[in-house]
């Protein structure tokens, strides 16, 4: 049996005539007769009473029709959805924390104005974990900061931010310019290893022959800001996170010789992944982030 057999049975039941059923389905009358005969052989009973001028469902035929109508309805609904699968499939985004806090909401707002019916799933994780999720095929696109990931990826840079070295105004060395050696000997309040901020700092120090030994290590940037405001040490954080306490005078920015830190933001997707229309649209909105003032 096939769906075509069921469609023919329904058409014959609705029209009460093999010829009209054939016309409705744009097939020959012999094809209709053959399909009904196959169904009856499969069922082991007659499905229609052949009357002089029409055919009518037998009781067995009515039972079968009741079974197949929901099947055909589901298939027809699927056929409708089949033509617009791209518009129904969820877009899965994985984003680093800073991008999710300061860039992604406005980008998604603009995206949803273009494609309001696309389901969107967002996971906010560390930059390293974002690439792992993308590598495992559990996300369509990753938004990460720091160095561009290595591997079979296409990386689209869309913004950047400077990292500020900050401390409380009453921290003992607040008004001095530090050397790298002096900086590394201070009480440092740093993000955890594997975070984009920490990786950028560690890479810069490594190239100059130094290593940071933090007093605090935290996955939470707000905790580091509060610790710095309390005079517990020196923090290295994105400008978007410390601009407010800097403007309020609760933190001040330090200068470190030969240490200028900046993180670039990338939209990353697998180079072999099929680019759906929603994914292309989202990537376009990502590239507009800076020009639209989203950063």
Q: How would CATH label the architecture of 87-159+264-292?
A: 3-Layer(aba) Sandwich (3.40)
Fold held by 162-262: D-Maltodextrin-Binding Protein; domain 2 (3.40.190)
User: What is the pLDDT at residue 293?
Assistant: 44
pLDDT value at residue 75: 87
Q: What is the pLDDT of residues 82-116, one digit of tens each?
A: 666 666 678 999 999 889 999 999 999 999 998 89
Q: Domain spanning 3-83: which CATH class is it, in words?
A: mainly alpha
Q: pLDDT value at position 5?
A: 94
Residue 295: the pLDDT is 44
Please answer whether residues 16 and 55 qualify as being in contact, where contact means their C-beta atoms are separated by less than 8 angstroms. Answer: yes
- Given this model, what pLDDT does residue 233 score? 96
**Same fold flag, 87-159+264-292 and 162-262:** yes
**Which pTM does this prediction carry?**
0.69
Which residues in the chain land under pLDDT 70? 81-88, 174-175, 289-295
Segments making up each domain of the chain, as ranges: 3-83, 87-159+264-292, 162-262
């Amino acid at each position: 049996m096939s769906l075509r057999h069921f469609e023919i049975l329904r058409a014959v039941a609705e029209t009460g005539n093999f010829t009209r059923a054939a016309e409705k389905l744009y097939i020959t009358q012999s094809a209709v007769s053959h399909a009904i005969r196959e169904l009856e052989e499969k069922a082991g009973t007659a499905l229609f009473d052949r009357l002089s001028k029409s055919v009518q469902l037998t009781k067995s035929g009515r039972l079968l029709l009741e079974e197949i109508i929901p099947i055909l309805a589901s298939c027809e609904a699927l056929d409708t959805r089949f033509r617009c699968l791209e518009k129904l499939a969820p877009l899965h985004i994985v984003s680093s924390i800073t991008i999710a806090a300061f860039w992604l909401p406005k980008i998604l707002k603009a995206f949803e104005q273009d494609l309001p019916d696309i389901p969107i799933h967002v996971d906010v994780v560390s930059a390293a974990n974002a690439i792992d999720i993308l590598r495992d095929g559990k996300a369509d696109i990753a938004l990460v900061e720091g160095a561009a990931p290595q591997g079979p990826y296409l990386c689209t840079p869309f913004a950047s931010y400077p990292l500020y070295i900050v401390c409380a105004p009453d921290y003992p060395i607040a008004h001095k310019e530090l050397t790298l050696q002096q900086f590394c000997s201070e009480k440092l309040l740093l993000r955890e290893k594997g975070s984009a901020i920490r990786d950028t700092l560690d890479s810069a120090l490594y190239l100059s022959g130094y290593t940071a030994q933090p007093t605090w290590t935290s996955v939470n940037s707000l905790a580091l800001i509060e610790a710095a405001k309390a005079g517990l040490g020196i923090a290295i954080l994105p400008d978007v996170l410390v601009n407010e306490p800097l403007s309020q005078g609760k933190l001040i920015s330090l200068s470190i010789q030969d240490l200028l830190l900046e993180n670039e933001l990338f939209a990353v997707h697998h180079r072999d992944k099929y680019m759906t229309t929603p994914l292309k649209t989202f990537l376009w909105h990502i590239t507009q982030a800076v020009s639209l003032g989203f950063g």
